[in-house]
Amino acid sequence: MTSKVNSRLFQELTNDLINLLENDDEHDVIIEAGEGENTRKFKAHYYILRMRSPYFRQALSSRWAIKEDGKYIFKKPNITPETFDTILRYIYASTIDVEKLNEVQIVSALGAADELCLNILVEVLQGELL
Amino acid sequence: MSSRKQPKGKIRPPKKPNSADAQFNDNWDRLAQAIREIHKKNASILSFEELYRNAYNMVLHKNGDKLYNGVREVITQHLEEVAVSQVVPAFPLSGASSSQTNPNGAGGANFLKVLKTVWEDHTTCMLMIRDILMYMDRVYAKTANVPLVYDLGLDLFRDTIVRSQNYPIQNHLLEVLLQQIKLERENEIIDRTNVKASIDMLLELTDASTKDTVYATDFENKFLETSSEYYRVEGQMLVGEYDAPEYMKKVDKRLNEEEQRVRHYLSQTTEPKIRNIVEEELISKHLKTVIEMENSGLIPMLRNEKMDDLGRMYKLFGRVVKGHDEMKSAISDYIRELGKAINETVTSNTTAEGGNAASGDKQTGATVAVRWVQEVLDLKDKFDKVQNLALSNDKAFQTSFNEAFEYFINKNSKSPEFISLFIDDNLKKGLKGKTEEEVDSVLDKTITLFRFIGEKDVFERYYKQHLAKRLLLGRSVSDDAERGMIGKLKVECGYQFTTKLEGMFNDMRISSDTMTDFKEYLDKSVLEKPKLDLSVTVLTSTFWPMNLSASPRCNLPPELTKACGTFQNFYLGRHSGRRLTWQSNMGTADIRGSFKARKHELNVSTYQMVILLMFNDKQDGESLSYEQIKGESDIPEADLKRNLQSLACAKYKILVKEPKGKEINPGDQFNFNNDFTAPLQRIKIQTVASKVESEGERKETREKVEEARKHQTEAAIVRIMKDRKTMEHNLLIAEVVKQLQSRFMPNPALIKKRIEALIEREYLERATGDRRVYNYLA
């Protein structure tokens, strides 16, 4: 297969995953990012989070997480909704639109990626800053 | 979870930090408190997100080492408490009460149970601690080159609990484990789950210096030592108390138990080690004792054909180095012993009956031979069965058995003759009422004995003699059977071995054609027909076992001489340049005898016919003396005596001898027995047929064999030298031995003599420079 075909197919997967993140009603995790006024609830999926992030694998393990009404509720106050949105898109679809981010936004995404042990993302963002 | 309502104020967003230290202390206090809560199993009040963030911030602010050491301290402290409050109180009553197995066993089990709980709690807690300290593991532990926190927890557990410096936990643990295993070995039921938990724990812990498991460093050696001692004592006890089959069953059971034990609750790495110990203590050390057990050891098992026990011994002893060797040599010795006994009964029989055999007790000689072969075959059968049913057809055993058979079979110098006689016995017409298949299978077995014979050329000589008699006396059971047997011999020894035997068959066939032609010739001829039916078998002298130099003399009656002359003219007319010698010692005749009661047809040997015809000229009651018969017939003395015996001393007494008796002596008088009666019209007078040779004959055979060997040896030397032209003495000897050993084992002295004879006759010469080298002279 040519890389052109490959990237077209890969694009399909990316689109489907973003679609899942934005429009799916069958979510089983709700993550509340931010503090005070600046908070936002994100709908997410247990298996995707577990699969993509070691942090969430532990956070959502039976040792720590408890469901309410069939959904996990997780609060992440020290990450702003804007930054978390970037992170979550990366977690779902392995994409990040660095062109649209300014330096401050990149730095705060880098901090969040580091805390959540997203090592590849950390490397990519560090590369952007250099 | 943060969704849980936490007591307010416990978690505050960091206010303006007073200083980095204050921030650190605050973070650390919360974490230390959280770890304590985890240890108290209160984790549900904790928030993963906060604790993780605390640790994350500490590491981020370069306080990783403080965090790491703090964690180490908290865990150590906790484990010290666990040791005092849970583990030490569970110590089983030790020392004095250890002789009372039961309470101690129960105490031990309880101790293991406590330890199991402690271990499970620890690992569960460590998983949670690892979760919240994941960032420390990923960032700090890696760069500081220290163990990940979970492994740190294992090390702390090892040093604080399992190898505690403050309490004798290690001693108790090892003692209890070994105690539990000992109890199980003594058929007590133990709770394997508790033992397994402790063993698994020891397997998960690593020794810092050896990098091996604590199981391997602390437990395994002790386990193997105590096992060694245990089985050393048990081995001594068992050999004293049980017979061999029982002993082996016990050992089997032990081996099985230890294997099961390893599988259920020890490490697989221990399996070969403990197996070696049991094998060493229960098998290797008692090999000979068990093999030699008086009424139950290897020999009694063989004697009573205890195949199961033998099979068990084979399997069991095969586990250790010397096991099969000991068995093999014991069985081989036994075979030799049995073979020796068989040989001895034969020797004692032949010597005891030697006199009789010579005096015409026809059956005895052959019977001894047949019995000897039958007993050897039975023995072979027995050990084939053992081989098959108990020894998995082990080739090494087969080889050693074969050597034993070979040894004792060749100890009996008569074995080639006996085996040939045995075959003779089976190929003779209608003797045993056996089916062809039965005969064939017996002959197949006989071939296996034939393989063991060292002097195959001696066998060949006897076989030829016996075959000649069967063919000439028409006593072969069938051509097919004979040819089948020769086929078997050919397979064993090659065509050279059997060409002469096959030649004998050809002679028989050609003779039968010749006789048809002879009859036609007579019918067409104007000559006077012979007064009797003459049947002639023309034998090629080199194929048949005949002594041409001492051609048997005999004065034949005139009619017969005339008939012979007619045939001779006929035959030589067709084949010029041939010479016919009449072998009257090998012929038979059908004659009619008129007795008082009735007439009988008598089937007799040519010699017997000659003797009986003498009485035609005599009046009733007129007798002939031994000397008269001898003089008139000119039959060689030994043959004459034997034939007179057949006529006067055997089942059918055609002649009456004075004085009566079994022996024929000079001066004996013979009368025609007019009063002879027999139920059958046709009577066959048995001549002394196949029988074991007398000493004189044996010597003669031996000489012939030696003579033949000289020729074969010379032929081999010439063949080799013609090919190589030049050869060193020792190499030549080796090559000659190699070529001849399928027939007999030539001794070097014989070969040397033949070489010298060939040098004398100028086939070879010694090389001029080196007298150890020979040249071939074309």
H-helix or E-strand containing A30?
Answer: strand A29-35
**Which range, of A5-14, B94-103, B588-597, B710-719, averages the lowest pLDDT?**
B94-103
**Above 70 in pLDDT, residue B145?**
yes
pLDDT at res. B361: 40
Alpha-carbon distance B412 to B400, whole Å? 19
Of all residues in chain A, the one with the smallest CA distance to B128 is: A63
Last residue of a domain, one of B174, B190, B222: B174
Residue A42 pLDDT: 93
Confidence of residue B355 (pLDDT cuts 50, 70, 90): very low
Q: What is the pLDDT of residue B551?
A: 60
The pLDDT score that the predictor gives to residue B353 is 43
- Residue B100's pLDDT is 45
Task: State the nearest Cα–Cα gap between A12 and chain B, in angstroms.
Answer: 34
pLDDT of B286 reads: 92
- B664 with B704, same domain: the answer is no
Q: What mean pLDDT value characterizes chain B?
A: 84
Place B185 in a pLDDT band, splitting at 50, 70 and 90. Answer: very high
Is position B770 within any domain? yes
The CA-to-CA distance between both ends of chain B, in Å, stands at 112
Categorize the per-residue pLDDT at B690 as very low, low, confident or very high, splitting at 50, 70 and 90: very low
Judged by a CB distance cut-off of 8 A, whether residue B1 touches chain A is: yes
**Confidence grade of residue B307 (pLDDT, cut at 50, 70, 90):** very high
A63 chain-B contacts, CB cut-off 8 A: 43, 127-128, 131
The pairing of beta strand B599-605 with beta strand B588-594: antiparallel
Share of chain B above pLDDT 70, in %: 91
DSSP string, B450-494: HHH-S-HHHHHHHHHHHHHHHHHTT-BS-HHHHHHHHHHHHHHH-
* B749 within a domain of the structure (yes/no): yes
What pLDDT does B698 receive?
77
Sheet strands side by side (includes A67-68)? A38-44, A29-35, A71-76, A67-68
- What is the DSSP track for B251-267? HHHHHHHHHHHHHHHS-
Looking at the complex, does the CB of residue B2 fall below 8 Å from at least one CB of chain A?
yes
B268 and B338 in a single domain? The answer is: no
- Nearest-Cα distance to chain A for B83, in Å, is 25
| CA B298, B303, B308, B310 torsion-angle sign | positive
> Confidence band (pLDDT; 50, 70, 90) for B358?
very low
Assess whether pLDDT exceeds 70 at residue B357. Answer: no
B668 and B638 in a common domain? yes
Note whether B568 and B615 are same-domain residues: no
Considering the domain architecture, whether residues B86 and B61 belong to the same structural domain is answered as: yes
Is omega for the bond preceding B659 within 30 degrees of 0, making it cis? yes
B229 lies in a domain? Answer: no
Distance, CA of B200 to CA of B177 (rounded, Å): 12
**pLDDT at residue B11, rounded to an integer:** 52
Report residue A12 as tokens: 């399909």
Taking the Cβ of residue B515 and every Cβ of chain A, the question of whether any pair is shorter than 8 Å is answered with no
B431 found inside a domain: yes
Provide mean pLDDT across the span B667-695: 75
State the Cα–Cα distance between residues B124 and B130, nearest whole angstrom.
10
Nearest CA in chain A to B130: A58
B589: nearest Cα among B555, B620, B612, B567: B612
B370 neighbors B395 (Cβ within 8 angstroms):
no
Do B427 and B379 fall within a single domain?
yes
CATH number of the structural domain spanning residue B481:
1.20.1310.10
Domain end, chosen from B523, B548, B574, is at: B574
Query: Could you tell me which residue, A90 or B531, shows the higher pLDDT?
Result: A90
The H or E element spanning position B722 is: helix B695-724
How far is Cα B765 from Cα B480, in angstroms, rounded to an integer? 50
pLDDT band, residue B519 (cuts 50/70/90): confident
Chain A contact present for B167, CB below 8 A: no
What is the structure's pLDDT at B352?
46
User: Both B24 and B146 in a single domain?
Assistant: yes
Decide if B186 contacts B180 (C-beta within 8 A): no
CA atoms within 13 A on the CB side of A57: 12
Contact A58 B48 (CB under 8 A): yes
Q: Is residue B11 part of a domain?
A: no
Question: For residue B576, what pLDDT is reported?
Answer: 80
Query: Is residue B379 pLDDT above 90, yes or no?
Result: yes
> Are B60 and B170 in the same domain?
yes
Question: What is residue B98's predicted lDDT score, i.e. its pLDDT?
Answer: 45
Q: What is the pLDDT of residues B430-452, one digit of tens each?
A: 555 677 788 788 888 888 888 89
Q: Is residue B597 part of a domain?
A: yes
Report the candidate in B32, B205, B152, B169 with the shortest Cα–Cα distance to residue B87.
Answer: B169
User: Has this prediction a pTM greater than 0.80?
Assistant: no
Mark whether B239 and B302 lie in a shared domain.
Answer: yes
Of B3, B52, B132, the CB nearest to A68: B3
Statement: residue B4 has pLDDT above 80: no
Among A29, A63, A79, A123, the strongest candidate for a mutation testing the B interface, having the largest count of B CBs within 10 A, is A63
Instruction: Output the pLDDT for position B461.
Output: 85
Task: Output phi, psi for B699, to 5 deg.
Answer: -65, -40
Highest mean pLDDT among A26-35, B592-601, B605-614, B690-699: A26-35
Residue with tokens 């993302």: A121
pLDDT of residue B617: 77
Taking only residues 373 to 402 of chain B, the set having a beta carbon closer than 8 angstroms to any beta carbon of chain A reads none
Q: Two tokens at B649?
A: 């001393």
B379 and B488 in a single domain? The answer is yes
Which has the higher per-residue pLDDT, A29 or A129?
A29
Q: Is the pLDDT of residue B409 over 50?
A: yes
Q: Could you give the CA distance from residue B136 to residue B659 in angstroms, rounded to a whole number?
A: 127
How does residue B70 score in pLDDT terms, banded at 50, 70 and 90?
Answer: very high
Judge whether residue B260 has pLDDT over 70.
Answer: yes
CA atoms of B154 and B157, how far apart (whole Å): 5
Comparing B549 with B45, which gets the higher pLDDT?
B45
Q: Which helix (H) or strand (E) holds A75?
A: strand A71-76
B336 and B482 share a domain? Answer: yes
Determine which of B59, B127, B135 to mutate to test the interface with A (most A C-beta atoms within 10 Å): B135
Contact A49, A63 (CB under 8 A): no
Q: Are strands A29-35 and A38-44 parallel, antiparallel or unpaired?
A: antiparallel
Which structure tokens are listed for A101? 């981010």
Task: Say how many CA atoms lie within 13 Å of B650 toward its Cβ.
Answer: 20
* Domain end marker among B127, B155, B174: B174
Phi, psi for residue B19 in degrees, rounded to 5 = -160, 165
pLDDT tier for residue B365 given thresholds of 50, 70 and 90: low
Across the interface, whether the CB atoms of A74 and B1 are under 8 A apart is answered yes
The Cα B400–Cα B393 span in angstroms is 12
- Higher-confidence residue of B265 and B689: namely B265
Specify the residue for token string 């069938």: B478
DSSP B379-447: HHHHHHHHHHHTSTT-HHHHHHHHHHHHHHHHHSTTHHHHHHHHHHHHHBTTSS---HHHHHHHHHHHH
Counting residues of chain B whose pLDDT is more than 90, the rounded percentage is: 31
Closest Cα in chain B, distance from residue A78 (Å): 9
Q: What is the dihedral of CA B566, B569, B573, B576, to 10 degrees?
A: 140
Check: CB of residue B185 under 8 Å from CB of residue B226: no
Comparing C-alpha atoms, which of B93, B259, B264 is closest to residue B179? B93
- The parent domain of residue B762 ranges over 695-776
Q: How many domains does chain B have?
A: 6
Surface of B (119-148) touching A: CB under 8 A = 127-128, 131-132, 134-135, 138
* B484: in domain: yes
* Contact (Cβ atoms closer than 8 angstroms) between residue B448 and residue B409: no
Instruction: Tell whether B186 is covered by a domain.
Output: no
Same domain, B436 and B524: no
Backbone phi, psi, residue B442, to 5°: -65, -45
B52 vs A contacts (CB less than 8 Å): 55, 58-59
Is B150's Cβ below 8 Å from some Cβ in A? no
- Predicted pLDDT at B53: 92
Distance CA B105, CA B354 (A): 79
B303 interfaces chain A, CB cutoff of 8 Å: no
Say yes or no for a CB contact (<8 Å) between A68 and B131. Answer: no
